[in-house]
Structure 1
Amino acid sequence: MTTWTGGTGEGVPQGIVPAGPQGIVPMVIETGARGERAFDIYSLLLKERIIFLGTPINDQIANLVVAQLLYLDREDPDKDISLYISSPGGVITSGLAIYDTIQLIRADVSTICVGMAASMATVLLCAGAAGKRYALPNSTIHMHQAMGGAQGQAADIEIAAREILRLQEIIRGILSRHSGQPVEKVARDMDRDYYLTADQAKEYGIVDEVLAGPEGESDASAA
């Protein structure tokens, strides 16, 4: 398993759902013609075409995000999907499943960084539709080289090392393509922990605007 994680450097075990306090999910009551209906907050956001990625990324989280993207694209491919990201990163292959789905579907995916987008989460932030990638003013964006581990026979360790280097080249290519930075610069910057503020991420090409107020009011509109 190859992970690409943020500040803690901790990998995310596959098949485990990382979360905050268990069972604490706000419920929202909506009143309509048929009476009151209760929604958990994430289902209500999904109705508004908003997906929230607020955990480390593993296979199970990727399956959930991919399923929501496919559902919303089927519902209306002409309406944007908003993907809010606050994640330290995680398993590269899981993140690439989300990335490929974003590129596959017809609906534009707008990405918004809240808090931190690190490692694989930075790739997803950068992969949003051109002109529709945002960060909140105090967000932190982070990149570094891929992390992984292997044990066993020397030949197997060599195979694992080649695979992690292959995945790292994929990540560099994606970041270069979506940011407009030369792949050589991306490779140099990723060689060690590389932190950016929201404004620096805009200058780098990872996001297009820094949101300074209600959604839609960016630093550009405030100027």
Structure 2
Amino acid sequence: MQTSLRAGGAPRTGGAPQSAGRGSSRRPACECSALAAQHSRRRPQRVQQPPTGVLDHASSSRMRLAPLNAQRRSPVIAPDISIGSGQDQTFVDLNNYLLRQRIVFLSGYVNDKLATQIVGSLLALEAMDEEAEIRVYINSPGGQPYSILGVVDTMQAIKPPIKTVALGACYSYASLLVAAGTKGRRYSMKNTRLMMTQPMGGSQGDIYQIAATVAELNAIYQLIARYYMKFTGMSADDVERATNRDTFMTPEEAKQAGLIDDLIRGDGGRDYTSPPAMVRQLEDLGFVDRLTGGILNTGREF
């Protein structure tokens, strides 16, 4: 019994051997297999190519930025802190250790997840001691209005006094969190930047949906404006002027606006009001002209 291949590639058994002559329409099995393999090698697998232009550039950018994005998404490993000594020694993570010291560190964009952690920490510290101070360090670009208002309401509702310290950048509604601390206990580091603004949003749909979104944005703005007036003593007109556009402030300006009560300088009382010699030279336009002219007159090629 011999085996041959049909046109579809299925094996066929039985029958007389096929002739390999010129008039024969079939080939031996080994020859068909070789031709099929050669044909498959000639036909490369089709790969979906990205369109040229902007999308191609965007895909290449994603490929270049993939390692950086993966690094950004990698979790930050918090160090363990040793507590006690000898047989009583134990290790706790950094956040747990700070919480035991009644310190809450609020960092990053405030969404529902972060707001839940902050609110839970404040409620737990109140349950431990209703009189001891809670210190809240804030370094945030802002967040969702509802999440921010939830944290502010909790800060106002609990009994312990709250000391707020602004560091890094406290933009948008993060400045409201700083101002929500207990009066007389609101501080800022000397190089912190603060900013006040108003809520933003967008909508699509029919006129009724857009009107509902505008009404909700206005309601949120009214809540935030009333909180700013309550915490800072600013008038409604002052709050409106400060939030019509992004208003950036130094700690000194934030103190004048009533967002904070004092600064934490941490410079040991040294005077940094006069700039160093190099800064004074750069401020002298004549020095810059002389410097560039000297470089050009050397005849060197850079």
TM-score, length of structure 1 as denominator length: 0.84
Any gaps of 5 or more consecutive residues in structure 2? 1-71, 270-302
1:90 corresponds to which letter in structure 2? Answer: G
SS of 2:89's equivalent in the other structure is strand
Q: Is 1:84 aligned with 2:144?
A: no
Give how far 1:31 is off: 2.9
Q: Distance in 2 between matches of 1:20 and 1:36?
A: 33
Which residue of structure 1 aligns with residue 224 of structure 2?
171
SS of 1:147's equivalent in the other structure is coil
2:204 corresponds to which letter in structure 1? Answer: Q
Are the structure 2 counterparts of residues 26 and 152 from structure 1 closer, same or farther at C-alpha, using a change threshold of 3 Å?
farther
8 Å contact kept, 2:173–2:197: no
> Pairwise mapping of residues 194-205 of structure 1 onto structure 2 (< 5 A)?
194-205=247-258
Give how far 1:93 is off: 0.5
Q: Is 1:135 aligned with 2:185?
A: no
Q: Distance in 1 between matches of 2:74 and 2:177?
A: 25
Which residue of structure 2 aligns with residue 121 of structure 1?
174
Which residue of structure 2 aligns with residue 112 of structure 1?
165
Give how far 1:151 is off: 2.2
Any gaps of 5 or more consecutive residues in structure 1? 1-18, 219-223
Q: Distance in 2 between matches of 1:75 and 1:33?
A: 27
1:195 corresponds to which letter in structure 2? Answer: F
Which residue of structure 1 aligns with residue 293 of structure 2?
none
Are the structure 2 counterparts of residues 101 and 164 from structure 1 closer, same or farther at C-alpha, using a change threshold of 3 Å?
same
When structure 1 is superposed on structure 2, of 94-103 and 22-31 the one drifting more is 22-31
Which residue of structure 2 aligns with residue 12 of structure 1?
none
Q: Distance in 2 between matches of 1:72 and 1:110?
A: 13
Which residue of structure 1 aligns with residue 96 of structure 2?
43
Q: Report which of the two has the higher share of strand.
A: 1
Give how far 1:21 is off: 4.6
Q: Report which of the two has the higher share of helix.
A: 2
Which residue of structure 1 aligns with residue 260 of structure 2?
207
Residue 181 of structure 1: which of 227, 230, 234 is its match? 234
Q: Distance in 2 between matches of 1:21 and 1:131?
A: 39
Give how far 1:156 is off: 1.0
Size of the aligned set, in residue pairs, is 198
Which residue of structure 2 aligns with residue 26 of structure 1?
79
Which residue of structure 1 aligns with residue 153 of structure 2?
100
When structure 1 is superposed on structure 2, of 115-124 and 152-161 the one drifting more is 152-161
Q: Distance in 2 between matches of 1:100 and 1:60?
A: 16
- % identical equivalent positions: 31
Which residue of structure 1 aligns with residue 114 of structure 2?
61
Q: Distance in 2 between matches of 1:139 and 1:23?
A: 23
Q: Distance in 1 between matches of 2:92 and 2:77?
A: 13
Structure with the greater alpha carbon radius of gyration: 2
